[in-house]
A and B are shown apart, each in its own frame.
Chain A
Amino acid sequence: MERIRMVFSGSGGQGVITASIIIAEAAVLYENLVAVQSQSYGAEARGGATKADVIISDSEINFPKVNHPNLLVCLTQEAYTQFSPTIRPGGFLITDTRYVKTHNRVAARQRELPIYQTVMDNIGKPVVYNICMLGAVISIIDIVRPESVMKVLEARIPANLIDINKKALELGRKLGEPFKEL
Chain B
Amino acid sequence: MNEKNIKFVQGNEACAEAALYAGLNFFAGYPITPSTEIAELLSVRLPQTGGKFIQMEDEIASICAIIGASLTGNKVMTATSGPGFSLMQEALGYAVMAEIPCVIVNVQRGGPSTGNPTHVSQGDVNQARWGTHGEHSIIALTASNHQDIFSTTVDAFNMAETYRTPVILLFDETIAHMRESLAVPEKGALDIVDRLKTSVKKGVDFHPYLPREDGRLPMSDFGGIHRYNVTGLFHDMWGFPSSDPKIVHGLLRHLVDKIENNVYNIARYKEYFIDDARTVFISYGSSARSALHVVKNRRARGERIGLLELQTLWPFPAAVVRKICAEVQCVIVVEMNMGQVLQQVKMAVDDPGKVFLANRIDGMLITPTDIRNIMRVIQGKGV
Contact = CB atoms under 8 A, between A and B. Distances in A.
A4 to B, nearest CB: 15
A64 B179 CA distance: 9
Contacts of B117: 42
Contacts of A65: 365, 367
A35 B181 contact: yes
B131 interface: no
A25 B8 contact: yes
Contacts, number: 61
A38 B289 contact: no
Nearest to A27: B8
Given A28-B6, A30-B2, A32-B1, A62 B289 contact: yes
Interface string A126-138: 0000000000000
Interface string B145-187: 0000000000000000000000000000010011111000000
A37 B292 CA distance: 18
Interface in A65-108: 65, 67
A49 B193 CA distance: 47
A63 B1 contact: no
B8 A62 contact: no
A13 B2 CA distance: 31
Contacts of A61: 180
B8 A29 contact: yes
A43 B117 CA distance: 10
B177 A39 contact: yes
B81 interface: no
Which residue, of B8, B289, B368, B369, has the highest number of chain A Cβ atoms within 10 A? B8
A64 B365 CA distance: 9
Nearest to A42: B118
Main secondary structure of the interface of B (DSSP, over half): mixed
B180 A21 contact: no
Which residue, of B117, B180, B286, B369, has the highest number of chain A Cβ atoms within 10 A? B180
How many residues of A sit at the interface, in one of the four size bands? Answer: 20 to 34
A36 B1 contact: no
B282 to A, nearest CB: 16
Contacts of A34: 180-181
B180 A62 contact: no
Main secondary structure of the interface of A (DSSP, over half): mixed
Given A35-B8, A42-B119, A63-B290, A29 B2 contact: yes
Contacts of B177: 38-39, 41
A7 interface: no
Nearest to B33: A41
Contacts of A32: 1
Contact of A67 (B2, B6, B296, B367): B367
B2 A62 contact: no
A37 B289 CA distance: 14
Nearest to A33: B181
Interface string B7-22: 0100000000000000
A24 interface: yes
A8 to B, nearest CB: 13
Contact of B6 (A21, A29, A36, A64): A29
Given A42-B119, A62-B290, A63-B367, A24 B179 contact: yes
A62 B119 contact: no
B226 interface: no
Which residue, of A28, A61, A63, has the highest number of chain B Cβ atoms within 10 A? A63
A41 B177 CA distance: 9
Nearest to B180: A36
A53 B367 CA distance: 14
Given A21-B8, A28-B6, A28-B8, 11 more contacts: A28-B180, A30-B2, A35-B8, A36-B178, A37-B8, A42-B118, A42-B119, A62-B293, A63-B365, A64-B289, A65-B365
26 contacts: A21-B8, A21-B179, A24-B8, A24-B179, A25-B179, A28-B6, A28-B8, A29-B6, A30-B2, A32-B1, A34-B181, A35-B181, A36-B180, A37-B180, A38-B174, A38-B177, A38-B179, A39-B177, A42-B119, A62-B292, A62-B293, A62-B296, A63-B289, A63-B367, A64-B178, A64-B180
Q: Which 5 A-B residue pairings sit nearest by Cβ, starting from the closest?
A: A42-B118, A38-B178, A62-B293, A63-B293, A25-B8
